[in-house]
Amino acid sequence: MFDRKRKWVIHRMASKKTRQNCTTPEDVSLGRTVHNLPLFPPELYRDIIEWITDRQDLCNLSLTSRICSAEAQRALYSIVDLPKNTRAPVLWADTIVRHHQKALMVRALTLRFDLSFIIVPDLLLTSLQSIAQALGALRRLDKLVLIGHPLAMMHPIYTWILDGCTAKLRTFHNSVFPSWAIIPFLSRHSQIREWKQTGMFPRGIMTDTMLPHLTKIDAHASTLVSFTTSRSLIQVRLRIDDWDRETARDLLALSRFGATLTTLIVEDSSTTNHLKLEELLIHLAQATPNLRTLAYTKASPHSAQVNYHHQTCGAHLTSSQDIFSSSSIENLSKFEVLEILMLQLRRQKLCPDNHHVRAIAEHAFDRCPSLRCVALKDEKNFYLCRRQGSCVIGDDDALLSDVLENDPPRPLESTYLEIQSSYIA
């Protein structure tokens, strides 16, 4: 019903002209001038355009609507996600270079690369030059995302892409260029606040003056040691491959940001020298005394069924993988202000019994008095337990509604929703 109503509204806005906004033949014969004023204020049209998510509908409005063309174009060009292996990036780049006003509309840009450049570099050289030239015209760009295979930009052409960006970026995500290749770029863009970097980061290659305003980082754990001075980080997302002495040193480097760090996401994909959760909690409690939200993901190399056994005496919990053992949860007592705990098992299934899930949550609540929300997720379900309330099992959308209806809106809840959408999905 909503889709039909939305299409009807778009059709009316794009094709039907109201009598009050048109100059009729009678008006022309009498020499009257009728001003083409919209029936509604521009702010209302802007709100309506924000509801439209279909790119084709926005294109139709920009081409046919007299009163919504400008807002539709602004929506089309504000967030740009260019596909790979098509003519679309080149056509978009040519449009941006020719039309200065459209270049000023772009706020977020996603560029996608694949291995075709290595196979036929000469054929794509001109295309990449056009994209780099267009990137230099985006004076108001806030967010730049580079996605692709790590080998896609091993050719020196990468300097054309990075050097072309002169905007004052606030967000930079990179999964294409090697870490050592973006150091000059990061040095020039000191205003970046959110940074995502794929792959290992060499220790000791960052200077004290780089990224002074950084507040969020998503990178390998080795990146932390590269910061020799503190930053006002509030959210950190770390990836751990294997557990060794260097990894422990990386985690202890979080203490440089302990004064401001409130949200931490850890993705553990180790296959050898498994990191035990109790060891991780000990290191994190020492380094992050003000941590309020902790999310931990354990990726198992093989699918498995994790069975939990609840004993009435002491609520002792064990698992075949030792991920949520009693000792692991008991170390939550070392956190003084932790409020939200999120634990995820990838390629594993929890026991579907609500009683066992609630036992895990109750054990966590007993060990950490400040804890008020425990969320567990396996490959099938999502479990949400509150200190004063029942444990809910369902899909992510249902639990989001449950959080909004039963918890008063607080800044911490917005943090929970952000983590749920970016980390659990």
* 212-233 per-position pLDDT tens digit: 999 999 998 888 888 878 899 9
C-alpha–C-alpha distance, residues 288 and 259, integer Å: 7
On the question of pLDDT at 31 being above 60, the answer is: no
CA dihedral 334, 336, 341, 343 (to 10 degrees): -10
Tokens 């050097």 sit on residue:
163
Model pTM score? 0.76
Residue 144 near residue 162 (C-beta atoms within 8 A): no
* 181-197 per-position pLDDT tens digit: 888 899 999 999 999 99
Which token pair is 366?
A: 């007993």
Confidence label for 204 from pLDDT (cuts 50, 70 and 90) = low
pLDDT score recorded for residue 380: 75
Cα angle 253-255-259, degrees, rounded to a multiple of 5: 145
Q: Which of 114-128, 150-164, 259-273, 381-395 has the highest mean pLDDT?
A: 259-273
Q: What percent of the chain has pLDDT over 70?
A: 65
C-alpha–C-alpha distance, residues 369 and 336, integer Å: 8
3-state SS, residue 269 = coil
C-alpha–C-alpha distance, residues 225 and 230, integer Å: 11
Q: Find the mean pLDDT for residues 92-115.
A: 88
Residue 186 near residue 208 (C-beta atoms within 8 A): no
C-alpha–C-alpha distance, residues 277 and 268, integer Å: 10
* 251-288 per-position pLDDT tens digit: 888 999 999 999 999 998 877 656 678 888 888 999 99
3-state SS, residue 79 = strand
* 71-96 per-position pLDDT tens digit: 777 777 788 888 776 677 888 899 99
Tokens 């080149």 sit on residue:
90
For the chain, which residues make up each domain, given as ranges?
1-27+36-76, 82-198
